[in-house]
């Protein structure tokens, strides 16, 4: 087996409104241009698992950065920072989109990144991923993992920080989208996923949805009770294949 190495660090970049932001940056140590991936955490915050996801992508031959979208809520353990963010409504859509844009620019500025950028997010980060696909130009791939509230069934739940339903912006999507969903999930429910899929189909968008029986929310994350081994194995295989297809140069990733 060839020598394998990763480089990881906390990196600084300019995000929304020019604010200094930070992210966990992981990339393969070998030579060659690779695709870049922005990993979007959920409401639980910038925790150990999203950093592990960045390392997983690096292991599979991508440069990945997991931004801390709660950077504006100060320092502390991820759960304490998330607890601070929660009563305020968390990071706003504008902040998250600005930070994703900044993270994508950071990746593109790396000498070993081929310029192709994907996004992936989990839970409310999946919602942010969908929104990024709708609002951030020049993304090459988007992976929505059980993003909740992409469909807004009760307009009263819209807030100043999240003023629009992402599904209403679907016409603007240019990047191909992969969606992973558990059929036992409540948000998004099966009906929500049906609605998203119907919308993408009607608009002629490039998408690939995988909907798993025996799984609910968060089934890739082995730190929680929602983890499902077989569904997770298949899900990760789909994710890596999707990014391999859309982000890699022919001689780049494995």
Q: Which residues bind other proteins (CB under 8 A)?
A: 42-44, 74, 76, 78-80, 82-84, 86-87, 89-90, 123-124, 127, 148-149, 157, 159, 186-187, 216-218, 224-226
Angle at 240 between CA 234 and CA 245, to 5 degrees: 125
Nearer to other proteins, 44 or 61 (CB): 44
Nearer to other proteins, 99 or 185 (CB): 185
Q: How far is the CB of 213 from other proteins (least distance, A)?
A: 17
Q: How far is the CB of 163 from other proteins (least distance, A)?
A: 14
State the DSSP string of 111-132: TTEEEEEEEEEETHHHHHHHHH
**Residue 188, preceding bond cis, omega within 30 degrees?**
yes
Q: Of how many residues is the chain composed?
A: 254
Nearer to other proteins, 55 or 84 (CB): 84
CB atoms under 10 Å from CB of 76, counted, come to: 13
Q: How far is the CB of 102 from other proteins (least distance, A)?
A: 23
Nearer to other proteins, 192 or 248 (CB): 192
Q: How far is the CB of 88 from other proteins (least distance, A)?
A: 8
User: CA-CA distance, 162 to 131, in Å (whole number)?
Assistant: 11
Max CA distance (Å), the chain: 56
């Amino acid at each position: 087996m060839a020598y394998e190495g990763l480089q990881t660090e906390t990196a600084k970049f300019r995000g929304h409104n020019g604010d200094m932001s930070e992210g966990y940056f992981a990339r393969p140590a070998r030579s060659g241009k690779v695709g870049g991936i922005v990993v979007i955490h959920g409401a639980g915050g910038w925790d150990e698992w999203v950093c592990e996801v960045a390392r997983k992508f690096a292991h599979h031959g991508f440069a990945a950065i997991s931004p801390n979208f709660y950077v504006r809520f100060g320092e502390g353990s991820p759960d304490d920072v998330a607890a601070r963010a929660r009563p305020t409504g968390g990071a706003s859509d504008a902040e998250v989109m600005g930070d994703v844009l900044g993270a994508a620019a950071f990746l593109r500025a790396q000498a070993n990144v081929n310029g192709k950028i994907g996004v992936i997010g989990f839970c409310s980060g999946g919602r942010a991923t969908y929104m990024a696909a709708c609002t951030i130009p020049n993304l090459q791939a988007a992976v929505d993992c059980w993003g909740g509230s992409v469909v807004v069934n009760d307009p009263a739940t819209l807030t100043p920080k999240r003023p629009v339903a992402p599904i209403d912006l679907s016409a603007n999507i240019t990047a191909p989208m992969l969606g992973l969903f558990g059929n036992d999930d409540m948000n998004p429910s099966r009906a929500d996923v049906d609605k998203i899929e119907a919308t993408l189909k009607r608009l002629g968008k490039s998408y690939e949805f995988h909907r798993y029986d025996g799984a609910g929310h968060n089934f890739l994350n082995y730190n929680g009770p929602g983890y499902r081994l077989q569904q997770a194995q298949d899900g990760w295989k789909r994710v890596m294949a999707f990014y391999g297809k859309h982000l890699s140069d022919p001689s780049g990733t494995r």
